[in-house]
Amino acid sequence: MFGQLTADIYSRLGASPDDESAEKRAIDNHEYDRALGSLEKRTRLPRAPSLVRDAVTDLLKAPRGSFLDHSALLGLSCDAEGRPRLLTTNFDTLFERAGRKLGLSGVPSQAGISIPRAGGERDFGILHLHGRIADRGLRLEASDLVLTSADFGDAYLRTGWASRYIEDRMRLGTLVLVGYRAEDAAMRLLLEALDADRDRFPDLGRIYAMEKSTPGSASIWKAKGITAIEFADYDAIYATIREWARYNANPRSYGLARLTSILGTGVAGANS
């Protein structure tokens, strides 16, 4: 989660949001991009690398705890030709490493403004919307990161490349958010604006979010134009994703196996 990463960055730099009232206010309001923007400005020396971005790279080099099942999600994203099309806002390369373990060779990893045009011939692979850190083991170079409020303002407002991409993506299919709360203001405003446009543009796809249920969470998602698919706990989310991935890999075999488990072995014999 962005909030935990933000806390880890402060810890790594030996800083505290209490040192700046604006940062503390931003943290309290879950505006982590604004807090990091302020922290970057006050810790960066002239013509020197950003200590905040260096901290992000160092923190994400080693595997971090996550409720995401990277292998299952990667398999679930595969199209009829077996090519994954997974859009992520994560900076790390855990999906790429999961793909290597699954034997998915030749899967491109694209990041930031270099992501292929939605719906084009190159529209597949692991697509890092907000950028990606380097991974020497996978021979992947770092890209620019959409990390601070200034970065979000450029990607979603000034140049708008991220906004255009999300809108194009919604016109091509259904988006399912897993582990992404759309807390950053630019993304939230974009989703709410697109939701308001559905009457004028009926080709806009729906957006769903798989998330653990909390008091009022469904209403919060609804305000963003997103339909919540809520679960009692994260274990239920893992199980659903894995089951869904098994179905996606081979719907016919999955259906037969399920019927067999319910009705008995006679079903499998009749269809063999």
H-helix segments, 91-224? 94-102, 149-153, 161-172, 185-196, 217-223
Q: Under a CB-based contact definition with an 8 Å cutoff, are residues 77 and 84 in contact? A: yes
What is the DSSP track for 125-151?
A: EEEETT----BGGGTB-------SHHH
According to the model, what pLDDT value does residue 254 have?
85
Name beta bridge partners: 86: 126
Backbone angles phi, psi at 77, to 5 degrees: -80, -5
Q: What is the pTM of this model?
A: 0.88
Residues of the chain with pLDDT under 50: 67
pLDDT at 67: 47
Sign of CA dihedral 7, 9, 14, 16: negative
Query: 135 is written with which tokens?
Result: 């991974």
Separation of CA 44 from chain center? 28
